A and B are shown apart, each in its own frame.
Chain A
Amino acid sequence: MSSTADTVEREKNLQGIGCSRKRKEDPRFIQGKGNYVDDIKMPGMLFADMVRSPHAHARIKSINKEKALALPGVHAVITAEDLKPLNLHWMPTLAGDVQAVLADEKVVFQQQEVALVVADDRYIAADATELVEVEYEELPPIVDPHKAMDPDAPIIREDLVGKMEGAHSKRLHDNHIFTWEVGQKDETDRVFETAEVTVKQEMTYQRVHPSPLETCGCVASFDKIKGTLTVYITSQAPHVVRTVVSQLSGIPESKVRIISPDIGGGFGNKVGVYPGYVATIVASIVLGRPVKWVEDRIEHLSTTAFARDYHMTGELAADKDGRIKALRVNVLADHGAFDACADPSKFPAGLFHICTGSYDIPTAYARVDGVYTNKAPGGVAYRCSFRVTEAVYLIERMVDVLAQKLNIDKAEIRFRNFIKPEQFPYTSAFGWEYDSGNYHAALKKVLEAVDYEGLRKEQAEKRARGELMGIGIVTFTEIVGAGPSKTCDILGIGMFDSCEIRVHPTGSALARMGTITQGQGHQTTYAQIIASELGIPSEDIQIEEGDTDTAPYGLGTYGSRTTPVGGAATAKAARKIRAKARKIAAHLLEVSEDDLEWDVDRFRVKGSPDQAKTMKEIAWAAYNNVPEGMEPGLEAVEYYDPPNFTYPFGAYVCVVDIDKYTGVTKIRRFYALDDCGTRINPMIIDGQIHGGLTEGFAVAMGQELIYDEGGNILGNSFMDYFLPTAVETPHWETDYTVTPSPHHPLGAKGVAESPHVGSIPTFTAAVVDAFAHLGVTHMNMPHNAFNVWKKIHELGLDKRS
């Protein structure tokens, strides 16, 4: 009979769910054997470089390629004129708009793609870009989104003139993209009219950029004889890219192979299809040779998808005890020159309407208006589910504003408004069904851990001495795991995800998924799921993703959807295999299936545990001794369409000390408690949280893509765009609670984006809290020393006595 110790030992050997298993990916990365797009080298490969617009808004009068083509080593200069006969000069965006692949008659943002030069090497290609002569006639640019809909505003998108029926609504102006409304407008207005207390706050969520350390790029290789196209690409969604490329090029999808090799970070930036990819593919088709195009950092920051740029006005109605009765939100969204947001098709503002947050708010209304400006397109989910960062920022800021108005403690007001544990599943005013949560317990645990009362006492003493200390509290709820195909699709394809598992005769396994890792450690964690489900040691399970010729179709990795959707697919595929294994075990043991029970890595006969068949034995039998009528083999595929999103949550506290003469903010303490349901690999979870907090720190404290009045982008290199080093980055303290998702097969919810979503408002809350006693309710990000000093100076706090 198997003893408890034996069971524990066997479980340990599996390295399954809950194990801080070391990463399977690491040996190749620490030895320089990663394989990123720029590492790909193919025989006869050429290099491409892009000619870009120096102007934010201008008409192209002429393009002269002659000098460039005359440079030895140059093979082609491709412009919109060359793409027109192929009908590839424009491409559809994920948001129902179109985007110029190469500028067609005019340019609409600085650094826009104008011509692609293809040459023998990257140096010649770069030289040749300087030789392409483009004559421009400058036009006045629109930089401020608030002026985009002025009656006399210059028209940015001449291709849309007269088309007033947009993809999501009527367009109210030539520079208007959509109006999107959700919730109960009239009812919300009524609540506001009669409310005991109302507060209103304007806030700007600045334009930032995900900026993974690897820029975007691809290697396209068209085989003229076979008619096949292979593209190595930095893509978070290779299968969707294959569909798009097939639709654009007319090459059958079966002859298009997209390979996402190792990816040097994505953070939402690598979801869409960029003009450079399309132009490079065309170059390979035209020239019949492999062509590589990899952007440099300035191109990356200037042209690939930015995030945020939301100009929000929030309002809360409440009673005098701080119990919230209604939320009203108006947003002006700057989408740049093309609407290339990466959101599920039906949601032009993503999942922004999660903005009632962790609070039981009975009535709510939100309106978002998207406008065009002469800036780069984007609006992607930078380490968050679609627009959830903006939503969480808004509600967390508003709750603080209300607390200050009523002079209620910022923790206390949250306890008063939380959705209670017994209210789950909870339907929000905007119609989301929150799966599970225990917000009270999470905040209580954090407050105790940081000695919240002690901190407030210290703050009071410091205030009395004229020192600036702030305490920020945030209790956020995310919505991730897009998503149920009844509401979520990308270009008409439901947002399911997939897993295919093959168990080999000797008991090891190969599994492939429709998702793609960019540092999250999928090769490690997916194996853990299968190990726990099938009793095969995770060391013996090989995980492959990213090659559309071999992996099952999936929508990819972004919006924290890997664990909620891909992880569920993996568990379900494994369970199909286990169900078959059970039948085989019953056959081998000559008992009924019902007489068997699962025991870590084997099926054993109930009441007679020495009679058992291990998964390894069953795997062998699957190939030579299956019950009569059963097909041999041991494999399964699952396409998992989630019944709902998952709703991870957390409670964060940040303590800051601000120097009142320099405006420098020191993050003294940051305590992050996350609840992502079932925890698959705690080591990786902690790593993801550290990373998310650091990216949140960067956004809140320093990141901003600035444009001047002429539409010149000012922050497009690492000289200007803030990426924190180890010196600036604070020390992080992490904690957790576990509230499993009731509808996910493993109870898991997804984690990597929560710390980004949750931390950003926490930093703002802490900085503002340092000034709260002086009547300050909000300060816009980034909270760099200069911006904070301006507030200090405005308040006269920097006067030396």
Chain B
Amino acid sequence: MAKQHISFTLNGQKVETLVEPRELLIHVLREQLGQTGSHIGCDTSHCGACTVDLNGKSVKACTILAVQANDGEVLTVEGLAKDGELHPVQEGFMQEHGLQCGFCTPGMLLRAYRFLQENPNPTEEEIRWGMSGNLCRCTGYQNIIKAVQYAAKKMQSA
């Protein structure tokens, strides 16, 4: 299949690559660009393990073609920490024990990152709905909610 040239910004860096038109963004990120933080957990865009930020929106990278990211801006878990400093959502997940096996975590973090920009001061109910596109099998979500609350508080006081 003829390959297409695409370029986009990945975690602040310009990247260029050749992809088949049918290739999914998640596969290009993981297999071509070596960013294996985002995961694949299902085939139906339910689990959210592949959630990344594309042009200021949370997207499920298993349901986006890589060509759709052309000229776009992509943020993955690898780009969350800045200058060796964890992002408040990362800190929150660690402090509040918001992760166990870690497989859903990158997607959760990226969703929390975007959600807290959409709603900087959410109620518990709003967090539950705001994070409901991401499945976790380990934590029962209770500590994930606390982690998002931790991050919200920290970001507000910053």
Whether a CB of chain B sits under 8 angstroms from the CB of A744 is no
Residue-wise interface mask of B (99-111) relative to A, using a CB-CB cutoff of 8 A (1 in contact, 0 not): 1111111100100
B-chain residues with CB within 8 Å of residue A10 when the two chains form the complex:
none
Q: How far is the CA of A214 from the CA of B86 in the complex (A)?
A: 25
Q: Is the CB of A122 within 8 A of B27?
A: yes
Decide: A214 near B103, CB < 8 A? Known: A26-B94, A726-B128.
yes
Q: Is the CB of A727 within 8 A of B99?
A: no
Whether a CB of chain A sits under 8 angstroms from the CB of B61 is no
Q: Is the CB of B140 within 8 A of A694?
A: yes
Residue-wise interface mask of B (66-99) relative to A, using a CB-CB cutoff of 8 A (1 in contact, 0 not): 0000000000111011000010001001110101
Q: Is the CB of B93 within 8 A of A297?
A: no
Whether a CB of chain B sits under 8 angstroms from the CB of A732 is yes
Q: Is the CB of B93 within 8 A of A30?
A: yes
Whether a CB of chain B sits under 8 angstroms from the CB of A684 is yes
Q: Is the CB of A38 within 8 A of B109?
A: no
Q: Is the CB of B135 within 8 A of A265?
A: no
Decide: A297 near B42, CB < 8 A? Known: A213-B47, A687-B143.
yes
B-chain residues with CB within 8 Å of residue A731 when the two chains form the complex:
142
Query: How near does chain B come to A307, taking the closest CB pair, in angstroms?
Result: 14
Query: How near does chain B come to A441, taking the closest CB pair, in angstroms?
Result: 26
Q: How far is the CA of A519 from the CA of B41 in the complex (A)?
A: 16
A-chain residues with CB within 8 Å of residue B37 when the two chains form the complex:
31-34
Q: How far is the CA of A112 from the CA of B78 in the complex (A)?
A: 38
Decide: A729 near B47, CB < 8 A? Known: A33-B37, A264-B103.
no
Q: How far is the CA of A262 from the CA of B129 in the complex (A)?
A: 29
Q: Which of B42, B86, B137 contacts A717 (CB 8 A)?
A: B42
Query: How near does chain B come to A485, taking the closest CB pair, in angstroms?
Result: 29
A-chain residues with CB within 8 Å of residue B145 when the two chains form the complex:
726
A-chain residues with CB within 8 Å of residue B16 when the two chains form the complex:
none
Q: Is the CB of A693 within 8 A of B105?
A: no
Q: How far is the CA of A683 from the CA of B98 in the complex (A)?
A: 11
Query: How near does chain B come to A734, taking the closest CB pair, in angstroms?
Result: 9
Query: How near does chain A come to B69, taking the closest CB pair, in angstroms?
Result: 18
B-chain residues with CB within 8 Å of residue A23 when the two chains form the complex:
94, 97, 99
B-chain residues with CB within 8 Å of residue A695 when the two chains form the complex:
137
Q: Is the CB of A732 within 8 A of B140?
A: yes
Query: How near does chain A come to B89, taking the closest CB pair, in angstroms?
Result: 8
Q: Is the CB of A264 within 8 A of B39?
A: yes
B-chain residues with CB within 8 Å of residue A264 when the two chains form the complex:
39, 41, 101-104
B-chain residues with CB within 8 Å of residue A684 when the two chains form the complex:
97
B-chain residues with CB within 8 Å of residue A25 when the two chains form the complex:
102
Q: How far is the CA of A26 from the CA of B86 in the complex (A)?
A: 12
Q: Which of A206-228 contact B (CB under 8 A)?
A: 211-215
Q: Is the CB of A691 within 8 A of B95?
A: no
Q: Chain A: which residue is nearest B106 at the CB level?
A: A32
Decide: A691 near B140, CB < 8 A? Known: A213-B135, A214-B103.
yes
Q: Is the CB of A265 within 8 A of B101?
A: yes
Q: How far is the CA of A688 from the CA of B99 in the complex (A)?
A: 10
Q: Which of B109-139 contact A (CB under 8 A)?
A: 109, 127-129, 131-139
Q: Is the CB of A718 within 8 A of B42?
A: yes
Q: Is the CB of B132 within 8 A of A718?
A: no
Taking chain B's interface residues, is the majority helix, strand, or loop, or is none over half, making it mixed? loop
Q: Which of A1-58 contact B (CB under 8 A)?
A: 22-23, 25-34, 36, 38-39, 41
Q: How far is the CA of A521 from the CA of B99 in the complex (A)?
A: 10
Decide: A296 near B102, CB < 8 A? Known: A23-B97, A33-B37, A39-B36.
no
B-chain residues with CB within 8 Å of residue A213 when the two chains form the complex:
39, 41, 47, 49, 101, 103-104, 135-138
Q: How far is the CA of A298 from the CA of B138 in the complex (A)?
A: 20
B-chain residues with CB within 8 Å of residue A518 when the two chains form the complex:
101
Decide: A521 near B94, CB < 8 A? Known: A123-B22, A690-B142, A726-B127.
no
- Residue among B30, B38, B86, B99 with max Cβ neighbours from chain A (10 Å): B99
B-chain residues with CB within 8 Å of residue A31 when the two chains form the complex:
37, 77-78, 80-81, 86, 90
Whether a CB of chain B sits under 8 angstroms from the CB of A417 is no
Query: How near does chain B come to A371, taking the closest CB pair, in angstroms?
Result: 30
Decide: A717 near B44, CB < 8 A? Known: A29-B102, A30-B105, A265-B103.
yes
Whether a CB of chain A sits under 8 angstroms from the CB of B5 is no
A-chain residues with CB within 8 Å of residue B44 when the two chains form the complex:
297, 717-719
Q: Is the CB of A718 within 8 A of B137?
A: no
Q: How far is the CA of A298 from the CA of B43 in the complex (A)?
A: 8
Q: Which of B20, B47, B99 contacts A123 (CB 8 A)?
A: B20
Q: How far is the CA of A29 from the CA of B138 in the complex (A)?
A: 14
Residue-wise interface mask of B (23-46) relative to A, using a CB-CB cutoff of 8 A (1 in contact, 0 not): 100010011001111111111101
Q: Chain A: which residue is nearest B124 at the CB level?
A: A731
A-chain residues with CB within 8 Å of residue B49 when the two chains form the complex:
213
Q: Is the CB of B100 within 8 A of A30?
A: no
B-chain residues with CB within 8 Å of residue A725 when the two chains form the complex:
128, 131-135, 141
Whether a CB of chain A sits under 8 angstroms from the CB of B152 is no
Whether a CB of chain B sits under 8 angstroms from the CB of A267 is yes
B-chain residues with CB within 8 Å of residue A22 when the two chains form the complex:
94-95, 97
Whether a CB of chain B sits under 8 angstroms from the CB of A395 is no
Q: How far is the CA of A211 from the CA of B34 in the complex (A)?
A: 26
A-chain residues with CB within 8 Å of residue B94 when the two chains form the complex:
22-23, 26-27, 30
Q: Is the CB of B46 within 8 A of A718?
A: yes
Q: Which of B47, B86, B93 contacts A718 (CB 8 A)?
A: B47
Decide: A29 near B105, CB < 8 A? Known: A212-B137, A690-B142.
yes
Q: Is the CB of B102 within 8 A of A519?
A: yes
A-chain residues with CB within 8 Å of residue B39 when the two chains form the complex:
36, 38, 213-214, 264
Q: How far is the CA of A27 from the CA of B87 in the complex (A)?
A: 12
Whether a CB of chain A sits under 8 angstroms from the CB of B144 is yes
A-chain residues with CB within 8 Å of residue B106 when the two chains form the complex:
29, 32
Whether a CB of chain B sits under 8 angstroms from the CB of A520 is yes
Query: How near does chain A come to B48, taking the closest CB pair, in angstroms?
Result: 9
Q: Which of B77, B128, B139 contacts A690 (CB 8 A)?
A: B139
Whether a CB of chain B sits under 8 angstroms from the CB of A263 is yes
Q: How far is the CA of A245 from the CA of B43 in the complex (A)?
A: 30
Q: Is the CB of A32 within 8 A of B103?
A: no
- Residue among B90, B101, B103, B132 with max Cβ neighbours from chain A (10 Å): B101
A-chain residues with CB within 8 Å of residue B38 when the two chains form the complex:
32
Q: Is the CB of B109 within 8 A of A30?
A: yes
Query: How near does chain B come to A282, taking the closest CB pair, in angstroms?
Result: 24
B-chain residues with CB within 8 Å of residue A688 when the two chains form the complex:
100
Q: Chain A: which residue is nearest B38 at the CB level?
A: A32
B-chain residues with CB within 8 Å of residue A27 when the two chains form the complex:
94
Q: Is the CB of B140 within 8 A of A729?
A: yes
Q: Which of A34, A262, A265 contacts B137 (CB 8 A)?
A: A265
Decide: A211 near B137, CB < 8 A? Known: A22-B95, A732-B142.
yes
Q: How far is the CA of A684 from the CA of B132 in the complex (A)?
A: 23
Q: Which of B20, B86, B129, B141 contacts A729 (CB 8 A)?
A: B141
Query: How near does chain A come to B20, taking the closest CB pair, in angstroms?
Result: 7
Q: Is the CB of A267 within 8 A of B137?
A: yes
Q: Chain B: which residue is nearest A300 at the CB level?
A: B42
B-chain residues with CB within 8 Å of residue A203 when the two chains form the complex:
none
Residue-wise interface mask of A (666-677) relative to B, using a CB-CB cutoff of 8 A (1 in contact, 0 not): 000000000000
Whether a CB of chain B sits under 8 angstroms from the CB of A589 is no
Q: How far is the CA of A647 from the CA of B114 in the complex (A)?
A: 45
Q: Is the CB of A30 within 8 A of B86?
A: yes
Q: How far is the CA of A732 from the CA of B27 in the complex (A)?
A: 37
Q: Chain B: which residue is nearest A517 at the CB level?
A: B101
B-chain residues with CB within 8 Å of residue A686 when the two chains form the complex:
97
Whether a CB of chain B sits under 8 angstroms from the CB of A723 is yes
Q: List 19 A-B contacts (CB under 8 A).
A: A23-B99, A30-B86, A30-B99, A30-B102, A31-B37, A32-B38, A213-B101, A213-B135, A214-B39, A262-B101, A264-B39, A683-B97, A687-B138, A692-B140, A718-B44, A718-B47, A723-B135, A729-B142, A732-B140
Interchain residue pairs A-B with the least CB separation, the first 4:
A32-B37, A264-B103, A519-B101, A29-B102
Given contacts A30-B90, A265-B138, A726-B131, 15 further A-B contacts (CB under 8 A): A31-B86, A36-B39, A38-B30, A38-B39, A214-B39, A264-B103, A265-B137, A519-B101, A519-B102, A694-B140, A694-B141, A723-B46, A725-B133, A726-B132, A732-B140
